[in-house]
A and B are shown apart, each in its own frame.
Chain A
C-alpha cells in the first residue's frame, strides 16, 4: 500500500510518501505565508523525486487540524480533491496526534497549540497514541495540573515544552486499519466555531 501523507495546518508543512510503514520520501519545511503557492508544487516535487505518479498511491492521510484555519483548508482541499478525482482512500489525522507521535520519556503526552487569550487546542495521548483525553479547545490553566506528562508544542509558553519530532510510521501503524472516509465528507477539524456563530448564539440565548 502506497500512502501520501500531508500536513499544512501548522508551522511545518509535511509531504511524505510511504510504502506500508516504510518511508520512501519525506519533506518537512517551514510554513510561511506562501503555503497556497507552495503546497501543490511540493507534492509534485515529491512524486518526481521518487519517480512516481500521483495516481500510483492507494491512500491519503490528511492532517485536518486543529491549527491555522486557512492552512488546514489548503491541505484538506487538495487531499479531498485528489481522493475524489482519483478514487483513492482518505483518512483524516489530528495535528495534535501527529505532534504526540514524538518520542518522549513519559507515558502521557500533551500536544498543545496556542489558540491565544490563554486558550489552547489540546490532546492527551499515551505513548502508544491511545487517546487519554480527546482533542479540545480549552483554557490552558486546567491542563497545567496534569502530572507526569510531557508537553509537546511548536509554540512558546512560559513552561517547558518539547518541540515535536513526528514519528509518521507510528501514526500510520495506528491508523492503517481505520475505515476510509467518503472524500465529500472529509472536513477540517477546527475545534472552534467562528466568532460570528458564537456571537449570534449568545445573542439568541439572551433574547
Chain B
C-alpha cells in the first residue's frame, strides 16, 4: 500500500511547530520553536506577544521541517493544522499558513482538534488499541475521553473551572516559584511531606474535575500562615497539593476504566510530563492489569507531530475543509 505523508502545523499557544508524519505513526521530522523563555518574564503566556513571535517564525519552521525530512511538498498527501482550541491570535498564524499551502499546492486541508492531537501523540509511541480511556491534562485542559474506535471521541468528564496545569501555575506563583511552575512543584513534591490539610477537589461520583477550590485553599493557607508569622514549608505544601491532585485524577480515571470496561488507558497533554502523576498511574495500572501508555516528554508538550498523527486518521475519514476554514478559540472535540 502506498504510504501517506501528512504535513502538520501547530501554533495554538506558544510553540510554533511543523512536522511530517508517515501513516499516522512514523515521525519523519519535527521542528518545535518554543517561546517559553520569552514569556517567562511575564509569569505566563501573553497572547499578543505569542502571536507576534508565531508570525516571525512560521516560514522558517516550515522550511526547516522540509529540509530535515529531505522532502518536498509534492510528496505530501495532505496538510493538517490545529484549528482550535487555543489562543485565537496564535491559532490564526498556523491556520493561514496551512490554508495557503493547501491552496498553492492543491492539497487537501485537514482540521485537527488540539486535544485529538494530544491523544494521538500516543500513536507515535505504539499503535493505540480500542476501546480506551484518554486522560488529557494540560495548561488548558483536564478531560476524560472514551474512544470506542479510531477518531471517535466521547467526552465523559472535564474540568468545571481551572485546568489542572493552570492550577499548578497559580499555586506555583503563590509559592514564588518561577514560570513555568508545574515542573518545579513536581520536583519539590518529591522532597516534601504531605502535612498540610487541603481538600480533595470535587470528590464525587462524576467524571468531572474542579481545581479552583484547591487553588484558593492553597492561597488562603499561605495568606493565613503569613499573617500568623509562620513560614511556609514550600516542599511540604507542594507535596500536599500534588497529592490531592494525583488522588482525584487517579480516582476518577480508574473509576471511568471500570465503568466503561476498558483495559487501556492513555495519558496525554503537557501535565503528563509530571513524574508524580506518571508514577502513581503506573503503580495503579500495574495493580489493576490496565495497559497504560504515556508519550515521551517531547510529545507531551505542544508539537505538530501529534497533529500529523491525528491528522492522518482524520484524513482517512475524509474530514477535509475548504479555504474558508477559521480558527476557533473553543470547540468541542468530536
Residue contact B49 to A81, C-beta cutoff 8 Å: no
Q: Identify the stretch in A21-29, A37-45, A106-114, A131-139 within 8 Å (CB) of chain B at 4 or more residues.
A: A37-45
Residues of A within 8 A of B322 (CB): 41
A78 beta carbon closer than 8 Å to chain B: yes
8 Å CB contacts to B: which residues of A164-207? 183-184, 187-188, 190, 194-197, 200
Residue contact B327 to A69, C-beta cutoff 8 Å: no
Can you list, as one digit per residue, whether each of A53-71 has a CB less than 8 Å from chain B (1) or not (0)?
0110000000000000110
B97 beta carbon closer than 8 Å to chain A: yes
Residue contact A40 to B93, C-beta cutoff 8 Å: no
User: Given A55-B104, A76-B55, A84-B62, do A37 and B97 touch, yes or no (CB 8 Å)?
Assistant: no
Residue contact B41 to A200, C-beta cutoff 8 Å: yes
B154 beta carbon closer than 8 Å to chain A: no
Which of A43, A81, A184, A195 makes the CB contact (< 8 A) with B101?
A81
Which of B49, B52, B324, B327 makes the CB contact (< 8 A) with A188?
B52
User: Given A36-B326, A54-B103, A86-B104, do A196 and B55 touch, yes or no (CB 8 Å)?
Assistant: no
Which of B55, B58, B96 makes the CB contact (< 8 A) with A40?
B96
For the complex, give the distance between the alpha carbons of A40 and B103 in Å.
Answer: 8
Residues of B within 8 A of A200 (CB): 41-42
Residues of B within 8 A of A70 (CB): 51, 89, 92
Residue numbers of A with Cβ under 8 A of B are 34, 36-41, 43-44, 54-55, 69-70, 73-74, 76-78, 80-82, 84-86, 183-184, 187-188, 190, 194-197, 200
Which of B46, B48, B100, B325 makes the CB contact (< 8 A) with A81?
B100
Residue contact A85 to B101, C-beta cutoff 8 Å: yes
For the complex, give the distance between the alpha carbons of A28 and B129 in Å.
Answer: 52
- The number of chain B residues with a CB under 8 A from chain A is 33
Residue contact A73 to B92, C-beta cutoff 8 Å: yes
Residues of B within 8 A of A183 (CB): 59
> Which residue of chain B has the shortest Cβ distance to A84 in the bound complex?
B59
For the complex, give the distance between the alpha carbons of A76 and B58 in Å.
Answer: 11
For the complex, give the distance between the alpha carbons of A67 and B325 in Å.
Answer: 23
**23 interchain pairs, CB-CB under 8 A:** A36-B92, A36-B326, A36-B327, A38-B324, A40-B96, A40-B99, A41-B323, A69-B51, A73-B55, A73-B92, A77-B58, A77-B92, A77-B97, A78-B97, A81-B58, A81-B96, A81-B97, A82-B104, A85-B73, A86-B104, A190-B52, A195-B48, A196-B42
> Which residue of chain B has the shortest Cβ distance to A81 in the bound complex?
B100
For the complex, give the distance between the alpha carbons of A140 and B104 in Å.
Answer: 43
Residues of B within 8 A of A188 (CB): 52, 55
Residues of A within 8 A of B58 (CB): 77, 80-81
8 Å CB contacts to A: which residues of B4-60? 41-42, 46, 48-49, 51-52, 55-56, 58-60
Which of A40, A73, A76, A77 makes the CB contact (< 8 A) with B323?
A40
B63 beta carbon closer than 8 Å to chain A: yes
Residues of B within 8 A of A74 (CB): 92, 96
For the complex, give the distance between the alpha carbons of A44 and B326 in Å.
Answer: 16
For the complex, give the distance between the alpha carbons of A77 and B55 in Å.
Answer: 6
Residue contact B96 to A184, C-beta cutoff 8 Å: no
Residues of A within 8 A of B52 (CB): 188, 190, 194
For the complex, give the distance between the alpha carbons of A76 and B93 in Å.
Answer: 9
> Which residue of chain B has the shortest Cβ distance to A69 in the bound complex?
B48
Nearest chain A CB to B49's CB is how many angstroms away? 5
The 6 tightest CB contacts between A and B, nearest first, are A81-B100, A77-B96, A84-B59, A196-B46, A37-B324, A40-B323
Nearest chain A CB to B60's CB is how many angstroms away? 5
Residues of B within 8 A of A39 (CB): 96
User: Given A73-B92, A74-B92, A188-B55, do A40 and B46 touch, yes or no (CB 8 Å)?
Assistant: no
For the complex, give the distance between the alpha carbons of A196 and B47 in Å.
Answer: 10
B110 beta carbon closer than 8 Å to chain A: no
For the complex, give the distance between the alpha carbons of A44 and B174 in Å.
Answer: 51
User: Given A77-B58, A187-B56, do A194 and B100 touch, yes or no (CB 8 Å)?
Assistant: no
> Which residue of chain A has the shortest Cβ distance to B102 in the bound complex?
A40
For the complex, give the distance between the alpha carbons of A85 and B51 in Å.
Answer: 21
For the complex, give the distance between the alpha carbons of A29 and B73 in Å.
Answer: 32
